[in-house]
Structure 1
């Protein structure tokens, strides 16, 4: 073969290689890979809301197993890097820094507590990292950015629902509010107070407290003088348990109503009889028997805590999106806005509005009776 012929053959081979790569790229968006797709998780695995975080993690692991047993993401296994946000802004921010800047994940699944999520939405938006929170409800997250989503409803829904229920179902006209000074507590307090007054009710006292507060006797004594029909208490297990016990110590009998953070077995276990008769709101869900059985096998109890159904559904939502969009964050973000997820355990159908929030929300009221959490019929 002449030198010229060898050059021509070489050029043909190069052209064929380039054409093959181009064809593969057009079909799959990138050359095929069997490498795992890794996303990040932030939630309270220790700290004040650890029971909620661990229960959600169990559901996430169940969903992850299902996704990978079904072929993963177009043949690639899905992996989750777990980071402990401890329900604090400081720890969540550090966790997000690692996931985004070191692990280079395209998606952060979390946080759970609103303060966790709010601590890193700025970094996520700046770096164009998609965030899907399975549990954060603070109203302020609605405007956190174009890459920020949640499949858990905003407190703009919860505050209005709670105000209406207390005023019109329980027929309570005077309320005192004790609220944790985080994005969740502050936002829910504002939404609830506004609606309750609009309905003709009166807020006779409103007191904020720090996350580290364990002594509520002074605030409860002042509230007792104000003589409310009900106390609306917005706190996590770490604050709720001592508050309920101190209320009992003061022999102050008043109706207690809480937010979704009270759907936590740790509160009932640790507060004991002091938790008897408390009411609280949670997003409605309808876990299947298959899901209930899987959770009981995983955690050893019947408990399905607040945010556990949305944590499970969130994994399946992300798997659906990743299959359609690939791993490029902007493509993931655009696909989420178009997503309609049906057949989950937290809601019959989940889709997102222009702010990345769920379009609809329904709530259920629960009560503690004989040491057990029951749905109010």
Structure 2
């Protein structure tokens, strides 16, 4: 199953296809959990799997939460008997949202720890850094959050249950042009697989719709001063900013945009779905896109009780453990057998919604929400029907003007 096909271009609100999950699910003839005898706690020689994510650095908040969700799922698997009676053991490594650190982490897990599966990375640059080593050594990679389009071509053993930015960039462009009514976009994007991938899909679709990209600027991930780029944007005639950033540069950019007096709306991507960004007064009015994930309050509370927060990547990380455990319980721990089964995953009932993996190892479909930061917290933008009921205004210039009047600083 070579990964040379392009992802489906359809985006706006793509319905998740119905069907039977390949992964085992209870049927009406099977007893429900209340009828089953208690599972025996897993014991014996553990089965080791790896984790790579940003436990330090720009995206550490999201990385730590994702690790907690992964550990929660593993604890549940082990409490239910583990893998054929043996416990799963997680070896976690810090990818730091950095290619060098991630490559070193992948090399350790693959060549020293000899694991069959790596859960990760989160940042696209992390996954792309160790994917060649994993592919060469036939180790399965299952990412919960990497979204760069080029991961589609990373190899037969490389999978993700988080949607490609082929979807997100197009959705953002359509939202900006059709819903916000913006025709003149300035684009400010972090260098690297994530930033450039989503930037290119956004710009391509925005221009197809009839919009104009009045300015496109890139910056290094480590940059903590975006005044030069923001000053160029202010001097132009853009009616919105599409700002692609990770947490730390996002905070800096939003703060400096406020200080420079920029009042046009700011739309961003999923990497700013981080409470560390939202808690700043200058983030008021920030809009950003995220995959739709109808999480239950019960599941959120489980993550919190485990020491994490139900942030962007946590549901996908939790799903991934359960998917891998199900497969291992059926076919064993051979990486090639696991890889073959992952291509068959269809409509798995994940906590984020149904999961179907396509022939490229990607999530087959995606739907998106737009969130807005209000009073230090992010909330999903209401539908047109909700807005007519007076619950919330659309996120146009009026929303950002309110933000600039009432708040302090920040702009994604």
TM-score above 0.5, yes or no: yes
User: In the TM superposition, what whole-angstrom CA distance separates every residue of 1:307-342 from its partner, at most 9, and x where no partner exists?
Assistant: 111111111111111112211111110011112353
Structure 1 residues 111-190: aligned runs within 5 Å: 111-190=121-200
From the two aligned structures, give the one with the greater helix fraction. 1
**Structure 1 unaligned blocks of 5 or more:** 1-32
Inter-partner Cα distance in structure 2 for 1:70 and 1:317: 14
After superposition, give the CA deviation of every residue in 1:323-369 in whole Å (9 maximum; x if it has no partner). Answer: 1221111111001111235322112x212111100111111110001
1:1-377 to structure 2, matched below 5 A, reads 34-269=44-279, 272-299=280-307, 303-340=309-346, 342-347=348-353, 349-377=354-382
**What's the CA shift for 1:227?**
2.0
Within 1, Cα distance between the matches of 2:264 and 2:311?
26
**SS, match of residue 206 in structure 1:** strand
Q: Secondary structure at the match of 2:69?
A: helix
Considering Cα pairs closer than 8 Å and 6+ residues apart, tell me whether 1 or 2 has the greater RCO: 2
Whole-angstrom CA distance in 2 between matches of 1:352 and 1:345? 16
- Which whole-Å CA distance do the structure 1 matches of 2:329 and 2:63 have between them? 27
Secondary structure of residue in 1 paired with 2:84:
coil
Q: Deviations over 1:94-146 (max 9, x none)?
A: 00000000000001110000000000111111111110000000000001110
Tell me, in whole angstroms, the C-alpha distance in 2 between the residues paired with 1:293 and 1:372.
Answer: 18
The C-alpha deviation readout for 1:288-324, integer Å capped at 9, x for no partner, is 2221111222237xx4211111111111111111112
TM-score when normalising by structure 2: 0.81
Aligned partners of 1:243 and 1:124: how far apart in 2? 35
The secondary structure found in structure 1 opposite 2:343 is: helix
CA–CA distance in structure 2, aligned partners of residues 341 and 67 of structure 1:
20
For 1:231, what is the secondary structure of its paired residue? strand
Q: Give TM-score scaled by structure 1 length.
A: 0.88
Query: Considering only aligned residues, what root-mean-square deviation do their CA atoms show, in Å?
Result: 1.1
Residues 349, 355 of structure 2: 8 Å contact kept: no
Aligned partners of 1:213 and 1:174: how far apart in 2? 26
Distance in structure 1 (CA, Å) of the matches to 2:357 and 2:341: 11
- C-alpha distance in structure 2 between counterparts of 1:338 and 1:261, whole Å: 29
Q: 2:348, 2:339 → 1: CA distance?
A: 19
User: SS state of the match for residue 306, structure 2?
Assistant: helix
**Deviation string, structure 1 residues 231-269 (Cα, Å, up to 9, x no partner):** 111110110011111111112212111100010011123
Moved more, 112-121 or 287-296: 287-296
| Number of equivalent positions | 340
Using the alignment, how far apart are the partners of 1:124 and 1:206 within structure 2?
35
Match of 2:29 in 1: none
Alpha-carbon separation, structure 1, partners of 2:333 and 2:307: 32
Asked if the contact 1:324–1:335 (Cα under 8 Å) also holds between the matched residues in 2, the reply is: no
SS of the residue corresponding to residue 92 of structure 2 reads strand
